[in-house]
Amino acid sequence: MRGEDSIAGLRRTLWNALSLNSNFYEKTPYTARTKRIALTIVILAAVSRVFGSAVILLINRTELSVLLLALWIDAFALVGGYYFWTFTIFKIGQWLKPGHVSYGELLVPIGFAYAPQVLNFLTLIPLLGEGIERILAVWTLLSVIVAVRQGLDIKTRWAVLIGFAGWPLIQIAIGFVKVIKQLVPQWL
């Protein structure tokens, strides 16, 4: 029964995060359970990204060592991006409202905001993958803005500025990962 409750809680959390429900972000308490759900969402996002990349790399008959390295880089980039973006938001939030929330407390709403990335496997759709990836990136940015606004209890314009502070760096990192994945086979 406990496993069913966890799955139902994860589904409910994903739905509220995907629908940009600001009340959800404001009313969700910071507990061990919400930390686990947020981390689960980030891990599911990484798995989704790795799955999409794996299918594309397998279709292109990528060598096993290159495939594994590329998938590891994808997963690390997504999870690392989550921690980096949260840290950026935390630092700017400390400047605006010192001592308001801790870094750990921000990991929960930002983790929830990564819910659109759970759909990352859709990027393997031919001809639509790049567009879907951009839509998911913007959707995640909007989710982060809602999470920051509610998590730091600030005005929307400040949340937009804070959300945008780390987002370009994350997008550059994603582009860098794509370039590395294309160059790795040539290096080996």
- d(CA 34, CA 145) in angstroms, rounded, equals 19
The predicted model gives 22-46 an average pLDDT of 90
Question: What does the pLDDT read at residue 4?
Answer: 60
Nearest to 101 by CA among 172, 176, 151, 169: 151
Nearest to 111 by CA among 17, 6, 9, 188: 17
- d(CA 17, CA 24) in angstroms, rounded, equals 8
Question: What does the pLDDT read at residue 47?
Answer: 96
> pLDDT tens digit string along 53-92?
889 888 888 888 888 888 888 898 889 989 989 998 898 8
Q: 154 pLDDT band (50/70/90 cuts)?
A: confident
Q: 6 pLDDT band (50/70/90 cuts)?
A: confident
> pLDDT tens digit string along 112-146?
999 999 999 998 888 898 899 899 999 999 999 99
Of 185 and 27, the structure prediction assigns the larger pLDDT to 27
Contact indicator for 40, 10 with CB cutoff of 8 Å: yes
> pTM, whole model, 2 decimals?
0.86
- Which residues, in sequence order, are CB contacts of 170 under 8 Å at separation 6+? 81, 84, 85
Question: What does the pLDDT read at residue 1?
Answer: 45
